[in-house]
Structure 1
């Protein structure tokens, strides 16, 4: 008998790849969303479309009744109340999986481990906020809602990705670096290039969500990230290798960056303190990470076919040129 999966969200990035993952593993798939974004599955008769606002509990209950899902993947729960409502509505499914975040961790530890590294606190005010500043707090409180539901017998679990990249990434964070590599033979990276912000390939996140839904332990959280974590310098070099181009990476000190009116934080994917997640718990379920050369090759290929350039993250090429000029005199 074929299992049915309901994906809350399902059309943009992680959700889109999750639908593909579920279809590839012979699920009947339904997606529930407001229909505000282009639907890549609009012409795919394997996917059922249910329109509604996940904030509307009546609509969410109606989706459950019409789809009768065995598993639910919740891609768009951004406030704790979203998780509380979903775990109550889908209390009897075989697996409810909430997409949390590595941002839910409060302590700077290397690596960050499920059940050991403390989570961010969340005030009542933060719980109803929607700003970037409270994102980690809200995701952590969503985790706690999952844990509470599991204590009541709900098969609820959380998956915590770090920075997610790959085809169709609307955040365009990695697209900035890909575009720089493709358009300039010299590019600036901040510091010594050894800063590390763990990332997760989107197809691996999708497979993690399916595997946790099938095999995860209720009340557990699972980190997901590339098996091989790249420094920023290694990231740029791996992009260049995948693109088949030459790119000179110039690591610039704070003083050199200041010559261009720049700071390290002006560069996307820079993080002063290393962010690394332990993924052993997920691996114990049979999950595997895509080799980094393969994931980057697919990412670069899709970038070339898209119109994304990461320009919203651009610190300014003229500023970079000034920094390069300073570096050339050293």
Structure 2
């Protein structure tokens, strides 16, 4: 039976990746700090090595215990971590780095691997933890993968767009699901056509496995829903899943200013399209979950777990002020 090792594996992308690997007959070893509940604690085919991924001896111990055919690095947020991991796992059958669509420096429509430029990354950004440096850090991690591949390591990169799905601890989409569940009228910036490419977490996990098995060393692969959808349509699909009705109320920047709101205060809103091509990954045999199924599973999971995305709430009273002005 093949062996896989995941750096991470208990929270979101890692959790779904472990489940995907188990479903395809891998024995799995996870490397975690032990700070989150382990959903695989009772799974016979999953073993765990606890320790800090920044401690090289932890990675070496996990490598020696697992002797992995596949390594999936779900929690490398600094390029130095990628360089360390590609060195430690240089002899593994495949190393796959979870990068991000944020690595792209320009929003071509769509953004394509090998064509759309990546962010530069300064030495200061490479060790920073702010969101401002997130894209540059992920881009530099990609370059670390390319360098390792040039040295003979079977290393590859997968670039997800914004990930949603069950067990999403960021609760970004949960905010909109809660709005749909709680209110008949939901305020949306612009005309509802905001296009921020998203990707269902189960499809990310499947992409990571397929790239490990079928990908080419030194290559990066975008992953996103094959059916890119607007913010408004995603709310309609969530309402269908929850068996409720929702009236989407569109508000311009001027309309929002009535209540001292701005479009940027609404999570998952983007003023210009942010889309990637997925043809390269699709050519390996990958496809995405039908959008209605992905949104339904996500919405029902968020409601079952009581997730509200409250930290993104711009203030319902201010929303109602705008809604009433636009619908009276």
SS at match of 2:211: helix
Deviation of 1:287 after TM superposition, in Å, equals 0.3
Tell me if 1:309 matches 2:308.
Answer: yes
- Give the equivalent residue in structure 1 for 2:273: 274
Summarize the alignment of residues 13-24 of structure 1 with structure 2, pairs less than 5 Å apart: 13-24=12-23
Instruction: Give the total of aligned pairs.
Output: 328
SS at match of 1:48: strand
Deviation of 1:325 after TM superposition, in Å, equals 1.6
SS at match of 2:245: coil
TM-score by length of 1: 0.98
- Give the equivalent residue in structure 2 for 1:261: 260
SS at match of 1:250: strand
SS at match of 1:49: strand
- Give the equivalent residue in structure 1 for 2:161: 162
Deviation of 1:300 after TM superposition, in Å, equals 1.3
Summarize the alignment of residues 283-298 of structure 1 with structure 2, pairs less than 5 Å apart: 283-298=282-297
Note the aligned Cα RMSD (angstroms): 0.7
Summarize the alignment of residues 184-199 of structure 1 with structure 2, pairs less than 5 Å apart: 184-199=183-198
TM-score by length of 2: 0.99
Deviation of 1:307 after TM superposition, in Å, equals 2.2
Task: Name stretches of at least 5 consecutive residues in structure 2 with no aligned partner.
Answer: none
| Per-residue CA distance 1:30-52 (angstroms, 9 max, x = gap) | 10011111111112222101101
SS at match of 2:48: strand
Does the 8 Å CA contact 2:17/2:208 hold for their aligned counterparts?
yes
- Give the equivalent residue in structure 1 for 2:236: 237
Distance 1:102 1:195 in 2: 17
- Give the equivalent residue in structure 2 for 1:220: 219
- Give the equivalent residue in structure 2 for 1:105: 104
Greater Cα shift, 152-161 or 33-42: 33-42
- Give the equivalent residue in structure 2 for 1:52: 51
- Give the equivalent residue in structure 1 for 2:246: 247
Distance 2:16 2:158 in 1: 15
Tell me if 1:36 matches 2:35.
Answer: yes
SS at match of 1:251: strand
| Per-residue CA distance 1:132-155 (angstroms, 9 max, x = gap) | 110000000000000000000000
Where do 4+ consecutive residues of structure 1 move more than 4 Å? none
Distance 2:178 2:203 in 1: 23
Distance 1:19 1:252 in 2: 42
Does the 8 Å CA contact 2:29/2:62 hold for their aligned counterparts?
no
| Per-residue CA distance 1:144-177 (angstroms, 9 max, x = gap) | 0000000000000000000000000000000000
Deviation of 1:120 after TM superposition, in Å, equals 0.3
Deviation of 1:108 after TM superposition, in Å, equals 1.7
Tell me if 1:121 matches 2:120.
Answer: yes
| Per-residue CA distance 1:176-207 (angstroms, 9 max, x = gap) | 00000000000100011111100000000000
Task: Name stretches of at least 5 consecutive residues in structure 1 with no aligned partner.
Answer: none
Distance 1:88 1:112 in 2: 30
Deviation of 1:301 after TM superposition, in Å, equals 1.6
- Give the equivalent residue in structure 2 for 1:88: 87
